[in-house]
Amino acid sequence: MKFSMVRLRSPQVFDGSTLLTRSFRFAIWLIVVTAFVVSGCSSILGRGTRDRGPQKDVLATEPNIEPLVFIADYASGAINATGGMDVWMKTKKLDLYGVVTVYEPDDSFYLTEHHFEVYPWLNSIKVSAQEPLSRFVWQFSEGRFNVLEGDEKVDVSPSCLLSRAETGVSYRDYAEAILNAITAPLRFLDVSVGFIKEPGPVKMEGQWYYPIAQTYPAQKASGPGSEQMDVTPVEGPRPAGTQPYWSKVVFFQNRDSPASGGQGSLVDMVWFADIDQKKFLAVRGYDYEEVQEGGVLVPTRVEIFRTDARAVTEERLVKIDFKETPPKRLRPSREGG
């Protein structure tokens, strides 16, 4: 993943409907590559050695890049709403603990605990859980998913929903959803993809949002000036290896959620669509607070929903209540029903 480091100023050079063109993104890419070669580092983000095992802090690195470009107002707004660029720059790793509630189709629910290690500048997350038969650790990093510890076949818990085929939610989906809910502002700095913002807000769950769709080099936006988001995914099968994992990913920026001090707007909902599999998921963040004094703001609660093809929520699947420190030991259990 390639990031562009930015200098946030007001007013922004780009307004809400203006995006980097392909040629401009290519120019940025060349600048980043040049910086990479001159520095002689293994990564412009200082990521160094890849994490291949139990060395949990290998991924915890600071960004090591110089200011290059300005960004669109929605990106700076999302960053400012969660603490600002200076604070994010100092954030190498977030350690979060969560009480996880998994909702079953029969109205029962399963309670367990997960430990989340989030590496914002590497687009990576590790999730660990102690379930009845085994300990499980899995990692989602730059679009790749790996189980680092435990055997999925012996996981009898529904904590990751893998055994519930009717939900269509996998270990991978769960990890990616949580990662995006926590680090959404930094995803806008990834110059390997593009973003298209709708010129007008839409109403979702009683609130007004600006949809910001993620695009890929092979995809083209539709509409005048290629600035209008195509909200209708293309139907039909995807040739193997030619399309991203999701048919569409849309970030929703809350129009009415100013940050502390009156600056910025939260991106508190992300929608994932897989047209081939007819799988549609949304992750939402609530009640943002500083992880520690002077730190970035993250949601204290995250929920994952199944939605319809228009991103309207249909069923709540998972709820995670985050804690900065490990909660009192909770024995995984199933209740209700």
Residue-wise pLDDT for 32-91, tens only, equals 434 433 344 333 233 333 344 444 455 556 665 545 456 788 999 999 999 999 999 999
Q: Which sequence spans correspond to the domains of the chain?
A: 22-89
Query: Going by C-beta distance under 8 Å and a sequence separation of 6 or more, which residues neighbour residue 199?
Result: 16, 17, 227, 228
Higher pLDDT, 294 or 332: 294
d(CA 44, CA 67): 12
Q: Check residue 108 and give its pLDDT.
A: 84
Compute the Cα dihedral for 259, 263, 265, 268 and give only its sign. negative
Instruction: Give the pTM.
Output: 0.73
d(CA 245, CA 330): 34
Choose among 139, 136, 137: nearest CA to 122: 139
User: Is residue 112's pLDDT more than 50?
Assistant: yes
Q: Which residue has the tokens 């930094």?
A: 186
Q: Check residue 106 and give its pLDDT.
A: 79
The answer to which of 136-140, 211-215, 299-303, 325-329 has the lowest mean pLDDT is 325-329
Choose among 268, 270, 266: nearest CA to 281: 270
Q: Check residue 114 and give its pLDDT.
A: 93
194-242 pLDDT, tens digit per residue, is 999 999 999 988 899 999 999 987 544 443 333 333 333 333 334 444 5
Q: Check residue 310 and give its pLDDT.
A: 93
Choose among 257, 267, 251, 260: nearest CA to 311: 251
User: Is residue 324's pLDDT more than 90?
Assistant: no
Q: Check residue 254 and give its pLDDT.
A: 92
238-296 pLDDT, tens digit per residue, is 444 456 889 999 999 998 865 444 467 999 999 999 988 889 999 999 999 998 888 99
Choose among 222, 226, 283, 276: nearest CA to 249: 283
